[in-house]
Amino acid sequence: MVTILIRWLIFLHVLSAITFFLAHGTSAAMTFKIRKETNFDRIRAMLDLSWSTMILMGVSFLIMGLTGLILPFLIHIWNKVWIWVSIVLMLFVFIYMARFNETHYKQLRRLVGLPYMQGNKELPAEPPPAQRRSLRY
């Protein structure tokens, strides 16, 4: 019975890792493409496309993390260094990416006139700065 559970958890772990990498691919592609873009409409489209995969990316990351924490208990490998290295690395990358998203892409969403978030608070879209100046005159 335990071996069947272990096989299913390994399957879920690998499936969620593949799903995470596929969903994260849109954000990674957007990161490289958006640097050279100057058209606000195209920037908005790229940011919306990246945002549209966030739920799938988050759920798959959560499943990958949970199965990655449960499996070492079942197969007794907590004494392996690579388990600890992978946990520390995942936490470091997660925190770094969350801070990067907070300081870069959430602010970019605000600047191009899309709804954005500050912390966990959702805020409505504001006119982009160039449009704000033209509305004043």
How far is Cα 108 from Cα 104, in angstroms, rounded to an integer? Answer: 6
Q: Indicate the pLDDT class of residue 130, thresholds 50, 70 and 90.
A: low
Alpha-carbon torsion angle 51, 52, 57, 63, nearest 10: 130
Dump pLDDT digits (tens) for 10-46: 999 999 999 999 999 999 999 999 988 888 899 999 9
Q: What's the pLDDT score for residue 134?
A: 42
Domain ranges in the chain?
2-136
* Other CB atoms within 10 A of residue 35 CB: 7
Tens-digit pLDDT profile for residues 65-101:
999 999 999 999 999 999 999 999 999 999 999 898 8
Would you state the structure tokens that stand for residue 48, as one six-digit string?
Answer: 């919306």
- How far is 82 from 65, CA to CA, in rounded Å? 15
Locate all alpha helices (DSSP H) within 1-126, ordered by sequence.
Answer: 2-34, 40-52, 54-75, 81-100, 106-111
